[in-house]
Amino acid sequence: MKMLRPEAAEEPELVRGFQEEYGLLAAIKHPSVVRPHRLVESGGALAIVMDLVDGEDLRRRVRRDGPVPPAIAANIVAQVADALAYLHDQGIVHADVKPGNLVVPADGGAVRVVDFGVARRMDGTPPVSIHATPEYAAPEVVGGAAPSPTADIYALGIVLFELLCGRSPFRGGGPLQVLRRHGMCAAVPPPGLPPVVWPVIEECLSPDPARRPDARLVAARLRGVEPALDGAPPLPALAADQITWWPRPAGAAAAVAKVTWVPLRAARSRPLRRTWGGWSRFPWPG
């Protein structure tokens, strides 16, 4: 159950947003998107009753165990890309794609995309304030544009990089420093990153939204390279001083405007099992 805090329940705008989140979820039917069952309103309390997924989110998994074997990373992100393709077809942008919002069931079922608290319909209206997690924000969104399907693809590229490398490429320093790097810097592959997967990441992270592939193409390309990654071990954990980004050439940086940001904390998900169900071909380190 996802509950609206009592203090938030006194704010009409927050209540309306919570109800809209349920409305978005209620219209969605996809195996990789968490399903709602009902909206509960009782004694001033609001809650969304959703599927219970016996598993844990990828943020916890990666922080505990480090980089994911490349074939598993490709498989996971291809599943998420399938879910995003469905959402985009429905006119919905998730707007906060990140490992903390991706839950892997312990039984090996489909990866679930969760937390639609900042998801929005694609109506093209620029937001007054941007609600997002700095490490995964597309440069045009940092510049004040409304979240779009291409912004979800950008975040998905960051997720793939993080699963393979153990951390996102632009991490380091305060939130504003991280935000500026999306427009001013380019991610670079660390040593050992499988060369067949880097072009997918690089295109997803293009500063030009028009040059990013759509979600279906990302899924197809990752499934295409998955056989070449079969059996490849996970990369070693990156050293603290490992370079994962580099300044873009003068004139090639994306515009970054001064906008009001409301960073989100990473989603919480209770870890229930330490095994990586469904991928016994690739024993999880530890």
Residues designated as active site: 96
Counted residue by residue, the chain has a size of 286
- C-alpha to C-alpha distances, 51 to 35, 83, 141, 233, 251, nearest whole angstrom: 6, 16, 31, 33, 47
- C-alpha to C-alpha distances, 114 to 15, 33, 70, 200, nearest whole angstrom: 19, 7, 23, 24
Cβ atoms of residues 204 and 218 within 8 Å: yes
Cβ atoms of residues 81 and 219 within 8 Å: yes
Cβ atoms of residues 168 and 135 within 8 Å: yes
